[in-house]
């Protein structure tokens, strides 16, 4: 029997997604998410718009979502 103590680092990013959206047109962006645990995980979503900020630019999508254990899910945003 062992009694272990320690800290774990967060997982490394699987990929970096970059999207370009034309002015005044909507676009759906699908992001694959993998749950590596055997139990359901809740993921928090955040995004950053790089470049010039504009009040007319927005992104819609869930801020959190659940993925069943040892499976994957596609998270969809609309920009």
User: What's the mean pLDDT in 3-30?
Assistant: 84
The model's pTM is: 0.65
The band of 72, judged by pLDDT with boundaries at 50, 70 and 90, is: very high
Tell me what the pLDDT averaged over the chain comes to. Answer: 86
pLDDT of residue 59: 83
Which residues in the chain belong to E strands, given as ranges? 28-34, 41-44, 64-67, 72-78
Q: What angle do CA 70, 2, 9 make, to 5 degrees?
A: 50
């Amino acid at each position: 029997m062992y009694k272990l103590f320690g800290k774990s680092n967060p997982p490394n990013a699987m990929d970096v997604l970059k999207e370009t959206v034309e002015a005044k047109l909507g676009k759906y962006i699908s992001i694959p998410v993998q749950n590596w645990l055997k139990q359901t995980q809740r993921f928090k979503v955040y995004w950053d718009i790089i470049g010039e900020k504009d009040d007319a630019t927005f992104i819609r999508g869930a801020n959190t979502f659940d993925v069943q254990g040892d499976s994957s899910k596609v998270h969809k945003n609309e920009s």
